[in-house]
Structure 1
Amino acid sequence: MRGTINAIIVDDEQKHHETLGKMLQNFCPMVHVVGYAYSVQEALPLIKTLDPNLIFLDIEMPSGNGFTLFDSFEDPPFEVIFTTAYDLYAINAIKYAALDYLMKPINIQELKGAVARAEKVRAKKQSQSSAKIDALKSNLQLKDTRFTKIALPSADGIDFIEANTIIHVEAERSYSNFYLDGGKRIMVSKPLKEYEALLEACNFFRIHKSHMVNLNHLDKYIKGKGGYVIMKDGSHVDVSVRKKDALLRKLM
Structure 2
Amino acid sequence: MAEPFRVLVVDDEAPARSKLKRMLASDARFTWIGEAADGLDAVAKTRSLKPDLLILDIQMPGLTGFEVLEALPTPLPQIIFSTAYDQYALNAFEASAVDYLLKPYDGERLARALDRAASLLGARKPDELKGLLSRVAHLPLERLLVEGERGLEALPLKAILRLEAEGKLVLVHTEKGVFEVRRALRDLEARLPPHRFTRVHRSTLVALEAVQRLEPWDHGDGLLVLRGGSHCVLSRTYRAAFLERWGGGA
Alignment partner of 1:33 is 2:32: yes
Superposition pairs of residues 72-221 of structure 1, within 5 angstroms: 72-73=71-72, 75-88=74-87, 90-99=88-97, 100-126=99-125, 128-138=128-138, 140-141=139-140
Classify the secondary structure of the residue corresponding to 1:29: coil
> Which string of whole-angstrom CA distances, capped at 9 and with x for unpartnered residues, describes residues 52-80 of structure 1?
10111100013331111122235343111
Aligned to 2:51: 52
Aligned to 1:20: 20
| C-alpha contact 1:70 1:76 (8 A) present in aligned 2 | no
| C-alpha contact 1:74 1:130 (8 A) present in aligned 2 | no
* Structure 1: 4+ residue segments shifted above 4 A: none
5+ residue gaps, structure 1, are 144-252
| C-alpha contact 1:94 1:136 (8 A) present in aligned 2 | no
Shift of 1:2: 4.6
> Which string of whole-angstrom CA distances, capped at 9 and with x for unpartnered residues, describes residues 4-52 of structure 1?
01111111111111011101112x2321111111112112222222111
Classify the secondary structure of the residue corresponding to 1:59: coil
> Which string of whole-angstrom CA distances, capped at 9 and with x for unpartnered residues, describes residues 169-206 of structure 1?
xxxxxxxxxxxxxxxxxxxxxxxxxxxxxxxxxxxxxx
Q: Partners in 1 of 2:111 and 2:136 — Cα distance?
A: 23
Classify the secondary structure of the residue corresponding to 1:17: helix
Q: Partners in 2 of 1:16 and 1:87 — Cα distance?
A: 17
Shift of 1:125: 3.3
Aligned to 2:181: none
Q: Partners in 2 of 1:50 and 1:119 — Cα distance?
A: 19
Mean CA deviation greater in 62-71 or 35-44: 62-71
5+ residue gaps, structure 2, are 143-250
> Which string of whole-angstrom CA distances, capped at 9 and with x for unpartnered residues, describes residues 120-177 of structure 1?
1221232522213322433x3499xxxxxxxxxxxxxxxxxxxxxxxxxxxxxxxxxx
Look at both structures and tell me which one has the larger radius of gyration over its CA atoms.
Answer: 2
Shift of 1:102: 0.7
Shift of 1:103: 0.8
| C-alpha contact 2:70 2:137 (8 A) present in aligned 1 | no
Structure 2 counterpart of 1:17, which letter?
Answer: R
Structure 1 counterpart of 2:14, which letter?
Answer: Q
Shift of 1:112: 1.2
Q: Partners in 1 of 2:16 and 2:71 — Cα distance?
A: 24
Q: Partners in 1 of 2:62 and 2:74 — Cα distance?
A: 24
| C-alpha contact 2:54 2:77 (8 A) present in aligned 1 | yes
Q: Partners in 2 of 1:134 and 1:107 — Cα distance?
A: 32
Q: Partners in 1 of 2:91 and 2:141 — Cα distance?
A: 10
Change (3 A) 1:134 1:31: same
Shift of 1:113: 1.6
Aligned to 1:196: none
| C-alpha contact 2:5 2:29 (8 A) present in aligned 1 | yes
Classify the secondary structure of the residue corresponding to 1:56: strand
